[in-house]
Amino acid sequence: MIITKRSLPRRTVLRGMGAAVALPLLDSMVPALSALSQTAAKSTRRFGVVYVPNGIAMDYWTPAEEGRGFALTPILQSLAPFQDQMTVVSGLRGYWTPAHAGAATTFLTGAAGVAGETAPVAGISMDQILAREYGQHTELASLQLAIDSRANAGQCSGNHSCVYTNTICWRSRTTPLPMENNPRVVFERMFGDSGSTDPATRRARMQRDQSILDSVTEKVSDLRREIGQADSLKIDEYLEGVRDIERRIQRAEQRESYDVPTVDQPEGIPDTFAEHVKLMFDLQVLAHQIDLTRVSTFMLGREVSSRTYTEIGVPDAHHPLSHHEYNPEKIALMSKINTYHASMFADYLAKLRATPDGDGSLLDNMMILYGCGMSDSNSHSPLNLPVLLLGGCGGQLEGGRHLKYQDDPLMPNLLVTLMGKLGVPVDRLGNSDGSLKVEGLTGV
């Protein structure tokens, strides 16, 4: 066997007409006879956030036991396959800020409260601090995704702008980032084209009906001559995943008229909540798989969302139901929504675990923060926030535990600790007043 030192660049991109398709990590990208040739590649730490709105039915969420070997509660039951890489965190305190506006805004910023009713004011969010560092090595610094369309005018929570309930991401103290809910726009941001939602541009794109992958077919054929059989199979699997997502977006578009009106909900959004969530999760898997970004945030719903969930037997609007007045029947319905969200998250985790990344999987190298900025929704309580940590963070996180902190430490204190685990240490985040251990607690 002849071994050469020739290798493909890690950031190899196949370029076609208006498209740029990045590739996942291949064996051919690892220099022969180098230290990295013993493994697929050095682990790359990644960060993801999944935010759920309107609080949690806490009695159905919080495990009774602390430490290891805790029994999963009804809401967390679907996460059983990932318990070894999951840490349930209890006892954290948010801020008594104006209801839902504060819940979303403080979750990643650690800001003490919501201010600036004429101009939004909060603080830089954890994901954007990471994006500044990680984005030096990727094409996209971060992805901000959502399920709900943005309500850009008026007041959505108390006397505060809808900006506060529409996003959890802030680039600076005065710059909230929009969360994109249209899969087509996200797909084209990842792989090319204009990404415009202007009706004329959308109509032309739909009529053209050309696959992004079709435009790079010749480049794929050329690449196959330079790589081995194992890499060729990896590319086949990866490109089929890309094409599957593209087909699903096209099917969603085909259900609409080609005479595309100007609407709040643009083409590319599936008919059902479940389809939409699955598609947005799959786009995140793809973005991390090809190292297009190492930071992603996703809102499964914006605060004060009044979505109904008739598909799981909950006809009540979510936000009104969250003000259950401690009626056991209504709390049980709330728990069904929380359980539904968790089950979708579990499907995402399964795909991350099944996707190779470096010398492990995407889940092994990611830290995922799942939770909400309030606990008891009836009182808008910021005490004992519902928080999960998932993934291995490149060996920095140990799962299989329920950590219960005493004396109500601040949520941003945990964020400070997590920043260190992610390799971007900070002394302070928002109004944090220290840091927290995520290992070595008494009884753990």
In a domain? residue 226 = no
- Mapping DSSP to helix (H, G, I), strand (E, B) and coil, where does residue 156 land? strand
- Contact between 98 and 114 (Cβ < 8 Å): yes
pLDDT in tens, 81-101: 999 999 999 999 998 777 898
- Contact between 230 and 29 (Cβ < 8 Å): no
In a domain? residue 153 = yes
In a domain? residue 217 = no
Please name which of 179, 153, 180 lies closest in space to residue 168, comparing C-alpha atoms: 179
- Contact between 14 and 223 (Cβ < 8 Å): yes
Query: Domains in the chain: how many in total?
Result: 1
Instruction: Name the least confident of 252-261, 320-329, 372-381.
Output: 252-261
User: In angstroms, rounded to a whole number, what is the distance separating the alpha carbons of residues 55 and 334?
Assistant: 9
User: In angstroms, rounded to a whole number, what is the distance separating the alpha carbons of residues 280 and 278?
Assistant: 6
> pLDDT-derived band of residue 16, with 50, 70 and 90 as boundaries?
low
Instruction: Name the least confident of 14-28, 45-59, 80-94, 202-216.
Output: 202-216
In a domain? residue 216 = no
Structural domain harbouring 97: 43-181+273-421
Cβ burial, residue 91 (10 Å; 0-12/13-18/19+): middle
Q: How many CB atoms lie within 10 A of CB 153?
A: 8
pLDDT in tens, 377-432: 999 999 999 999 999 999 999 999 999 999 999 999 999 999 999 999 999 999 99
DSSP 8-state symbol, 390: E
pLDDT at 266: 35
User: In angstroms, rounded to a whole number, what is the distance separating the alpha carbons of residues 291 and 203?
Assistant: 31
In a domain? residue 434 = no
Angle at alpha carbon of residue 135, lines to 131 and 137, rounded to 5°: 145
- Contact between 389 and 416 (Cβ < 8 Å): no
Tell me the helices (H) and strands (E) count for the chain, helix number first.
Answer: 12, 16
In a domain? residue 304 = yes
pTM of the full structure: 0.82
User: In angstroms, rounded to a whole number, what is the distance separating the alpha carbons of residues 179 and 213?
Assistant: 26
User: In angstroms, rounded to a whole number, what is the distance separating the alpha carbons of residues 61 and 157?
Assistant: 25
In a domain? residue 430 = no
Beta-bridged to residue 87, according to DSSP, are: 389, 401
Q: Which CATH number do you get for residue 401?
A: 3.40.720
In a domain? residue 174 = yes
Tokens of residue 183, six digits: 């899969």
